[in-house]
Chain A
Amino acid sequence: GAGVSQSPRYKVAKRGQDVALRCDPISGHVSLFWYQQALGQGPEFLTYFQNEAQLDKSGLPSDRFFAERPEGSVSTLKIQRTQQEDSAVYLCASSLGRGTSNQPQHFGDGTRLSIL
């Protein structure tokens, strides 16, 4: 596609439910990143994939957060047993080269997650 696509755009869940957020990167992009953006803050890094390999997951807040990119294209971020503090906008970004290249990261519009 022309840009990074994320779905759903909005997700409301009750505390304790599991959620899955999807990211379709730009076709052919090697690198894929997930960020979490709290209200009034800048995005914070969650995890990085190079093709299907998850090379860095140091930003995942807890073991309730899990991300995968099994075929090196579409990625899913899963949050188990959601808590109110998980409420945020989850942004996906992709770039053409490997993470350490100088290629810019292109962002999707995000999924706004609200936990009741």
Chain B
Amino acid sequence: KQEVTQIPAALSVPEGENLVLNCSFTDSAIYNLQWFRQDPGKGLTSLLLIQSSQREQTSGRLNASLDKSSGRSTLYIAASQPGDSATYLCAVKGGSNYKLTFGKGTLLTVNP
């Protein structure tokens, strides 16, 4: 059974810092990995999707990497802003099924 772990559970940084969120998964036979953002009381906003054949994806200040063989992904946020404050969730799609398996998320607070 696929298990996804996110470290740290919570992170507080001053505005302007670069930061890294970590995600690990137990079964490397994945189809893709997706990073989401969730604001309080809201649904999930897709940030980046990395296919299993890819090593990284970039969107603006966000960069996500994938090392499938070691079961790890990182989300790098450059020059953090207070508006980046949210919970960040990592999810993997297994190679033979439809569903996403999520971690519990990292609660990020960026202080002005």
Contact = CB atoms under 8 A, between A and B. Distances in A.
B42 interface: yes
Most buried by A among B41, B98, B102: B98
A95 to B, nearest CB: 9
Nearest to B47: A104
Contacts of B63: none
Given A100-B31, A104-B49, A109 B43 contact: yes
B51 interface: yes
Interface string B79-95: 00000000001010000
Interface string A46-86: 00100000011001000000000000000000000000000
Nearest to A47: B99
A44 B41 CA distance: 17
A93 B49 CA distance: 15
Interface bracket on A? 20 to 34
Contact of B102 (A31, A43, A55, A102): A43
Interface string B22-40: 0000000001101010000
Interface of A: 4, 6, 31, 33, 35, 40-45, 48, 55-56, 59, 91, 93, 99-100, 102, 104-110, 112
15 contacts: A31-B98, A33-B99, A35-B100, A40-B104, A41-B104, A43-B100, A44-B102, A45-B101, A99-B98, A100-B97, A104-B34, A104-B46, A105-B34, A107-B44, A110-B42
